[in-house]
Amino acid sequence: MDISSREQKIIDILLGHDSLQSSDIHEMLVARAEDVSLVTVKRALSDMAARGILRASGLGRSSSYEISVLGRIFSNIDAQAYCAIEPDHRYGQKRYNHDLFKGIPDTIFSLEELKRLEDATAEYTRRTTDLPPAIQKKELERLVIELSWKSSKIEGNTYTLLDTEKLILENKKAPGHTSDEAHMILNHKDAFNFVRENASSFKTLSRAHIEELHAILVKDLNVGAGLRKRVVGITGSLYQPLDNQHQVREGLEALIEAVARMQTPYTKALLALLGISYLQPFEDGNKRTARLLANAILLAYACAPLSYRSVEESEYREATLVFYEINSIVPFKKIFIDQYDFAARNYAVK
């Protein structure tokens, strides 16, 4: 969905308020040095409501506008600038958005973005056709090492890439590191092997498969199995995930249903990745589970799995936080496309 510069300014205003009347929005636009008439603002608001970006309520002078799920999803947020604001002063949501998964459209990529993804997949298919077994083995090792290293590093693991390689290939633990760091990395290896060997099962998501994947990733890390029964918080964010197991279960089912109706494997994978991270259904290991679940979906549809090797951890965290608090997919969608293109042209894992 294309959102103009002026429409984005209107969205930016509404993100900080429950609802506003057209005159209030006009006044705030003028205060931000926007040269625009009230009539033009009313016309823009009406058009945005017709396209589903905003929701209108009331009639005549009492009519007001609020941002819809669709408007949030496609809001073009500068993640770095937003996250530079102290958490207590941000304008994002503090609570779980129960309408989010139901309101996400069936496709979230533009035609241009889809072409880039499909072109990358075509290159991946070409590169993985008729590979000799020895090369397949080396390619699998390389991906597993780089995925295990970077996914763990995003979570604060201090193993280097070389340390990770020695641990996975030679079972040599790096000195000066905790045993939990080694377990985290080795669990990634086991989890990737699990999703690769059971890829076809992930064409249709189930709670059982997601819980099994999570159990592999948190093995020997003193993390409870199954859906969490206690409150979890997000460091550096005011966003508070759902706080009881019944609601978590309902949220997970809503996410599974939303993934099922997505039109492309890329949209399914991205929604699963962000959705599990947002829902936080487990005590710990949620983002690791999300990354491996996205790979399971991609592999199920013969697409390239992601290693995230070239992503900056800060960029990843900022884009994720924007989804938590604003529900905008725009910053993370760019990461996903870039990482998929990188993976499709640099790995040959089938």
- In this structure, what token pair is assigned to residue 197? 């060997």
Judged on CB neighbours under 10 Å (0-12, 13-18, 19+), 229 is: exposed
Is the per-residue pLDDT at 83 higher than 90? yes
Q: How confident is the model at residue 1 (pLDDT cuts 50, 70, 90)?
A: confident
Phi, psi of 125 (to 5 degrees): -60, -40
Q: Which fold has domain 100-346?
A: Fic-like fold (1.10.3290)
> Model-level pTM?
0.94
> Which amino acid would we find at residue 10?
I
Give the integer Cα–Cα distance in Å for 302 and 299: 5
Q: For domain 5-67, which CATH number applies: 1.20.120.160, 1.20.20.10, 3.40.50.1370, 1.10.10.10? A: 1.10.10.10
Phi, psi of 240 (to 5 degrees): -115, 110
- In this structure, what token pair is assigned to residue 162? 């070389």
Q: Is 29 within 8 Å of 10 (Cβ atoms)?
A: yes
Is the per-residue pLDDT at 349 higher than 90? no
Give the integer Cα–Cα distance in Å for 314 and 45: 35
Judged on CB neighbours under 10 Å (0-12, 13-18, 19+), 208 is: exposed
- In this structure, what token pair is assigned to residue 307? 């290693």
The predicted pLDDT at position 31 comes to 93
Q: How does pLDDT run across 152-211, given as a tens digit for each residue?
A: 999 999 999 999 999 999 999 999 999 999 999 999 999 999 999 999 999 999 999 999
Domain ranges for the chain = 5-67, 100-346
Q: Is 185 within 8 Å of 152 (Cβ atoms)?
A: yes
Instruction: Tell me if 5-67 shares its fold with 100-346.
Output: no
**Region 63-79: what's the mean pLDDT?**
95
